[in-house]
């Protein structure tokens, strides 16, 4: 993938031939933000691309900074032997060095128009290079999150631009008077200049500086995280509501079922009559205590008492009910009132009989004694 970045220049001087010579920082480690479409990912708004030190400072990458053509702005294609005369306005040297985060190279601008642009204020640098994009996210040792990693960075050219992606640190510094100390030997704090960046916000292009771009990118990431959290919370809420709705529906179903089981006064009277009739038939078949028994149990107890267990073994309730009805039809139901009255009448008769019998027995005894006398 072909990409471009921006960098600064220091220790500027003019040669006797009019060339502009300088040392410049041309690359750095860390995170730079690209539009997703620049990296072949139009589905992403911005991509935080991380350059680890082991990639930027590898021997192959550092060698690729040396003897690169310089261009005035980025050409529409990579520079090669066929188009070098068309685009080149100078070149980089071979004394490539680096500190902990940056790469520095010597350079020379040889084209008068490019030198005039520099003197008019066009002083930042942008490296044109190719690299591989490893779509692995993570966090840098400094705690900064990233979306992808650059691998196998190979430089193609170095362009003089108005604003570069890497920021004002990567620019051609102001010239120094002949005989003045070389700033590259004693690096000075860099100018606090922020390069312009274009960021897409809700489909609109917004031009801002490096700090603004970082703030917007951070806010966009926070918004994305908030939207994700809101989506998770909504799913959890919907799940809770569905569970409560199911519980309410269950309670309503149970209530309706209980309502269906509640007997009206007429139904209750009918049920009492039916139960009394059943107990009366059962007692006619077999007199027993049927309290607390179901209708089916009452029939079975009466049938078993009359016919034995074998008569109903393995038989369904319908069969037992039919046998019960047959037995009940053949038995005369006992009226409990009549039974009670009959028992009392018999008791009184027995009492009278006993008294009468005793009296007669006494008379017989006395009569017998008189006859013997």
Strands (E), the chain: 2-7, 9-14, 20-28, 30-35, 46-51, 69-72, 88-92, 97-98, 102-109, 124-134, 138-139, 145-146, 148-161, 197-201, 204-208
- Structural contact between residues 299 and 283, judged by C-beta atoms closer than 8 angstroms: no
Q: State whether 114 and 217 are in the same domain.
A: no
Give domain status of residue 232, yes or no: yes
Tell me how far the alpha carbon of residue 62 is from its chain's centroid. 44
Q: State whether 57 and 108 are in the same domain.
A: yes
Task: Quote the domain boundaries for residue 120.
Answer: 2-176
pLDDT at 182: 40
Structure tokens at 194: 């922020």
- What's the rounded Cα separation, in Å, for the pair 128 and 54? 19
Q: In Å, how far are 72, 143, 164, 284, 367 from 116, measured between CA atoms?
A: 11, 42, 19, 130, 175
pLDDT at 335: 60
pLDDT in tens, the chain (373 residues): 554 454 444 568 899 999 999 998 888 999 988 888 888 888 888 999 999 999 999 999 999 999 999 999 999 999 999 999 999 999 999 999 999 999 999 999 999 999 999 999 998 988 888 889 999 999 999 999 999 999 999 999 999 998 765 544 455 543 333 333 443 333 333 333 344 556 666 656 676 766 667 677 778 788 888 888 888 988 889 899 999 899 999 898 888 877 766 667 888 888 899 999 999 999 999 999 999 999 999 999 999 998 999 888 999 999 999 999 999 898 865 565 655 565 555 555 554 555 555 555 555 545 445 555 4
Q: State whether 44 and 80 are in the same domain.
A: yes
Q: State whether 15 and 147 are in the same domain.
A: yes
- What's the rounded Cα separation, in Å, for the pair 108 and 42? 37
pLDDT at 269: 86
Q: State whether 89 and 214 are in the same domain.
A: no
Structure tokens at 129: 């290079």
For the chain, the straight-line distance linking the first and the last C-alpha, in angstroms and rounded, comes to 158
Domain count, the chain: 3
- Rg of the chain taking only CA atoms, in angstroms: 55
Give domain status of residue 348, yes or no: no
Q: State whether 272 and 315 are in the same domain.
A: yes
- What's the rounded Cα separation, in Å, for the pair 207 and 169? 19
Give per-residue pLDDT as tens, 59-95. 999 999 999 999 999 999 999 999 999 999 999 999 9
Q: State whether 23 and 144 are in the same domain.
A: yes
With CA atoms as reference, report the closest residue to 125 among 26, 224, 252, 210. 26
Query: Residues 6 or more apart from 354 whose CB is under 8 A from it?
Result: none
Give domain status of residue 182, yes or no: no
Give per-residue pLDDT as tens, 294-308. 999 999 999 999 899
Q: State whether 238 and 145 are in the same domain.
A: no
- Structural contact between residues 305 and 297, judged by C-beta atoms closer than 8 angstroms: no
């Amino acid at each position: 993938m072909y990409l471009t970045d921006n960098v600064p220049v220091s220790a500027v001087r003019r040669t006797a031939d009019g060339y502009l010579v300088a040392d410049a920082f041309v690359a750095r480690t860390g995170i730079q933000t690209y539009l997703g479409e620049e990296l072949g990912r139009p589905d992403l708004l911005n991509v935080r691309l991380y350059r680890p030190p082991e990639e930027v400072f590898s021997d192959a990458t550092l060698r690729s900074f040396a003897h690169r053509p310089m261009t005035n702005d980025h050409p529409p294609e990579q520079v090669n032997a066929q188009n070098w005369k068309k685009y080149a306005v100078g070149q980089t040297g071979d004394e490539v060095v680096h500190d902990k985060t940056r790469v520095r190279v010597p350079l020379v601008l040889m084209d008068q128009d490019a030198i005039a642009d520099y003197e008019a204020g066009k002083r930042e640098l942008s490296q044109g290079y190719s690299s591989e994009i490893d779509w692995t996210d993570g966090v840098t040792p400094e705690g900064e999150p990233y979306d992808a990693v650059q691998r196998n960075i190979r430089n193609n050219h170095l362009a003089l631009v108005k604003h570069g992606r890497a920021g004002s640190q990567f620019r051609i510094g102001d010239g120094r008077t002949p005989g003045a100390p070389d700033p590259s030997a004693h690096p000075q704090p860099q100018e606090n200049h922020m390069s312009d960046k274009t960021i897409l916000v809700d489909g609109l292009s917004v031009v801002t500086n490096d700090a603004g771009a970082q703030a917007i990118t951070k806010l966009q990431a926070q918004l994305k995280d908030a939207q994700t959290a809101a989506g998770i919370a909504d799913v959890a809420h919907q799940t809770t509501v569905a569970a409560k709705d199911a519980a309410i529906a269950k309670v309503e179903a149970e209530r309706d079922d209980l309502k269906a089981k509640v007997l009206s006064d007429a139904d209750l009277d009918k049920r009492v009559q039916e139960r009394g009739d059943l107990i009366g038939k059962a007692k006619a078949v077999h007199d027993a205590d049927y309290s607390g028994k179901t209708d089916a149990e009452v029939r079975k107890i009466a049938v078993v008492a009359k016919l034995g267990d074998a008569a109903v073994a393995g038989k369904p309730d319908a069969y037992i009910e039919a046998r019960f009805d047959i037995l009940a039809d053949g038995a005369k139901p006992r009226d409990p009132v009549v039974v009670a009255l009959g028992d009392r009448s018999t008791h009184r008769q027995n009492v009278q009989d006993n008294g009468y019998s005793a009296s007669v027995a006494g008379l017989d005894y006395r009569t017998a004694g008189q006859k013997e006398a």
